[in-house]
């Protein structure tokens, strides 16, 4: 049997219409999903774009933040910069190895998901029961490419602005070109 490969997992909250962001932020407030996000990303390298890092406001504790950006002057304490997808992937794999993590979280935004789409093995999707206007959209999930493994409603917290469902997808097949 071959050596196991580090999996790339897209961790995303998206509305039913695919919207993931509006004007640099999320068009909803769902504190209960932020707890899930923390548990899904803790102890793992995370690849994100500059705008996502700016929306978060800082590098998150207990995770490696690898920021894919063309802004070489960006300085955020605790974040590593990558100027292209190949560099971001290499840094994430190195961090995963150092942490002995079996997963790398790809956490957005829209352009980062598109750039790394062919590397995504799984999708951890919080589907937000809303259809807001927005300027950032998650790529459509092609069910011939990804299989829905599980789906469960999530209990809406009293501070949550919308109900959610958690869906887990697995890529149906992969032809590695090593």
CATH of the domain at 165: 3.40.430.10
Q: What is the pTM of this model?
A: 0.92
* pLDDT tens-digit series, residues 131-161: 999 999 999 999 999 999 999 998 888 999 9
- CA separation (Å) from 46 to 74, 90, 95, 132, 134? 17, 12, 9, 26, 24
85 located within any domain: yes
Chain mean pLDDT for the chain? 92
Q: What is the C-alpha to C-alpha distance for residues 38 and 104, in angstroms, rounded to an integer?
A: 14
Which range is most confident: 2-6, 54-58, 131-135?
Answer: 131-135
Q: For residue 140, give its domain range.
A: 20-171
The confidence band for 174, taking pLDDT boundaries of 50, 70 and 90, is: low
156 located within any domain: yes
7 located within any domain: no
Q: How many domains does the chain have?
A: 1
Neighbour order of strands in the sheet with 146-154: 79-82, 64-68, 45-49, 103-108, 7-15, 122-128, 164-171, 146-154
User: Would you state the pLDDT for residue 118?
Assistant: 95
The confidence band for 39, taking pLDDT boundaries of 50, 70 and 90, is: very high
């Amino acid at each position: 049997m071959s050596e196991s490969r580090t999996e790339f997992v897209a961790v995303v909250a998206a509305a039913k219409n695919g919207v993931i962001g509006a004007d640099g932020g999320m068009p909803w407030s769902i504190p209960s999903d932020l707890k899930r996000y923390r548990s899904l990303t803790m102890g793992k390298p995370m690849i994100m774009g500059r705008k996502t890092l700016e929306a978060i406001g800082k590098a998150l504790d207990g995770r490696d933040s690898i920021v894919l950006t063309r802004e070489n002057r960006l300085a955020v304490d605790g974040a590593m910069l990558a100027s292209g997808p190949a560099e971001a992937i290499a840094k994430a794999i190195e961090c995963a190895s150092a942490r002995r993590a079996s997963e790398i979280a790809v956490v957005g935004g829209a352009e980062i998901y598109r750039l790394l789409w062919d590397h995504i093995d799984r999708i951890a999707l919080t589907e937000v029961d809303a259809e807001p206007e927005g300027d950032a959209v998650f790529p459509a999930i092609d069910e011939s490419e990804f299989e829905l493994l599980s789906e469960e409603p999530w209990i809406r917290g009293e501070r949550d602005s919308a109900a959610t469902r958690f869906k887990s997808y697995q890529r149906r097949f992969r032809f590695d070109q090593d």
